[in-house]
Chain A
Amino acid sequence: MAQRDEDLIRRWQSGEACAFEELVRRWQQPMGRFLARLVGRLDLVPDLCQEVFLRLYQAGPRYREQGTFSNWLYRIALNVARDTGRRTRHAPVALSTHEVPANGISAEARCEQQEVAQTLTAALAELPSGLREVLVLRHYEDMNFEAMSRLLRTPASTLKSRFAVALQRLRTRLGHLDWHPEEKS
């Protein structure tokens, strides 16, 4: 049976290096996906992921079991993403390098999917960070507003309205795409 994250971190705090390695193995893909959606730049994701786990490594001895481990890790990742956002605010936005897997579809359909992915990435990147964070946490991480409220230290009601605004803005921005995923897949 898989150990709880909190047990692993306790073992790591008591000196078992392999417990930290297990936590990294367990969380590296979810963190990679989370950061990619939050930052919108695939080229930055490996470095950001590395930074998240480095900060986790440095902060590990200070972890106290007050909330869940995942909440704590998400907070570290959010801080890393915010720092990156501040640093790259004035940098030119790179074109998305999202590669859509072939999956036996035609070149034309693949090209269209690629374009949709790029437009979507750009639309997400254009959202103010406050709206983007809520959208990514609710839609992709399936986090409820109460947990999000503890993580972002913002009232749940504010987060709910931010989420509605974010969806509405995306709807306006992506309305022209006329994309029906259920028909394409």
Chain B
Amino acid sequence: MNCAEIQAALPALLYGDLPPGQAAALREHLASCPACREEETGLRQVTGLLNTMPAPVVQVNLTDIYQEASRRQLRRVRLWRRLAVSLSAAAAALLLVVGLRLELRVDAHQVVVRWGTSPELPQSDPVQPAPGLAAVNAEHAYLTQQLIHALADDVAARDRENQDSLGTLEARLEALQQQQQERWDATQRLVSTLYTLTTTSVAKRSEP
């Protein structure tokens, strides 16, 4: 191994990531090569510095976690509801267009909105309706109706799930608040006892 290879392997040597044979070969090289030894010293100094970095002490607030989880859950429920309403509205509009055979046309001086079948013009040749058009429309209407039902079912199921999980969260929160109240009461009792004891001992000491 040349010096470049040795120096590339130095981090692995410092952290004990090399197999024993390779580590021994590296150490042997280091004993006889000042340049690589200097590199190793530099890296050791860096790892020593890294060990001096102080660490904080943190305290996670469980009540905040339960409350925030509940808030986010509610936000998700609202989002899903809004999405479902929008989709239902779009599906209803589609159903209206297909069911009523709505036609919207912008001419040079007028806007034409027409629904139902087109009035037959007396002069023009009778236009034969395309075969199977009514059947296609009925099928579209049926599919849209099915889509709306499916969406409504999905929304109801999600609502039920979200209500269940909200219920669980609320119960947990309530239990936690009760625990905190009990702890607070106990602390107050303790403080009051300590106060009484202190006052008594001071009074005894001040007696002649």
B45 and A179 within 8 A (CB) = yes
Instruction: Collect the chain B residues with CB atoms within 8 Å of residue A80's CB.
Output: none
Asked whether A98 is an interface residue with its Cβ less than 8 Å from the other chain, the reply is yes
Contact with B60, one of A33, A49, A164, A179 (Cβ below 8 angstroms): A49
A181 and B60 within 8 A (CB) = no
Interface residues in chain A, defined as those with a beta carbon under 8 Å from any beta carbon in chain B: 17, 21, 24, 28-29, 31-33, 36-37, 42, 45-46, 49-50, 53-54, 57-58, 98-101, 113, 116-117, 120-121, 124, 135, 138-140, 144-145, 160, 163-164, 167, 170-171, 174-175, 177, 179-182
A167 and B11 within 8 A (CB) = yes
Closest to B66 in A: A57
Beyond A21-B62, A120-B50, A163-B11, whether A42 also contacts B56 by CB under 8 A is yes
Most buried by A among B46, B49, B69: B46
Closest to A160 in B: B12
Tell me the bound Cα distance from A50 to B69 in angstroms: 11
Please give 17 more A-B residue pairs, beta carbons under 8 A apart, in addition to A36-B56, A45-B56, A58-B69: A17-B175, A24-B60, A29-B58, A32-B56, A33-B55, A33-B56, A58-B72, A139-B47, A140-B50, A145-B17, A170-B46, A170-B49, A170-B50, A171-B46, A179-B48, A179-B49, A179-B52
Instruction: Collect the chain B residues with CB atoms within 8 Å of residue A31's CB.
Output: 58
Asked whether B160 is an interface residue with its Cβ less than 8 Å from the other chain, the reply is no
Closest to A161 in B: B8
Tell me the bound Cα distance from A21 to B59 in angstroms: 12
B52 and A117 within 8 A (CB) = yes
B50 and A117 within 8 A (CB) = no
Instruction: Collect the chain B residues with CB atoms within 8 Å of residue A21's CB.
Output: 62
In terms of DSSP, what is the predominant structure of the interface of chain B? Answer: helix
B68 and A54 within 8 A (CB) = yes
B11 and A164 within 8 A (CB) = yes
Counting chain B residues whose Cβ lies within 8 A of the other chain, the interface size class is 20 to 34
Beyond A32-B57, A33-B55, A117-B53, whether A57 also contacts B65 by CB under 8 A is yes
Contact with B65, one of A54, A138, A140, A170 (Cβ below 8 angstroms): A54
Interface mask (B176-187 → A, CB under 8 Å = 1, otherwise 0): 000000000000
B50 and A139 within 8 A (CB) = yes
Asked whether B158 is an interface residue with its Cβ less than 8 Å from the other chain, the reply is no
Closest to B39 in A: A171
12 A-B pairs in the complex with CB atoms less than 8 angstroms apart: A24-B62, A28-B59, A29-B57, A36-B55, A50-B60, A54-B69, A117-B53, A120-B50, A139-B50, A170-B50, A171-B42, A179-B49
A98 and B54 within 8 A (CB) = yes
Tell me the bound Cα distance from A167 to B42 in angstroms: 10
Instruction: Collect the chain A residues with CB atoms within 8 Å of residue B61's CB.
Output: 50
Instruction: Collect the chain A residues with CB atoms within 8 Å of residue B11's CB.
Output: 160, 163-164, 167
A28 and B60 within 8 A (CB) = yes
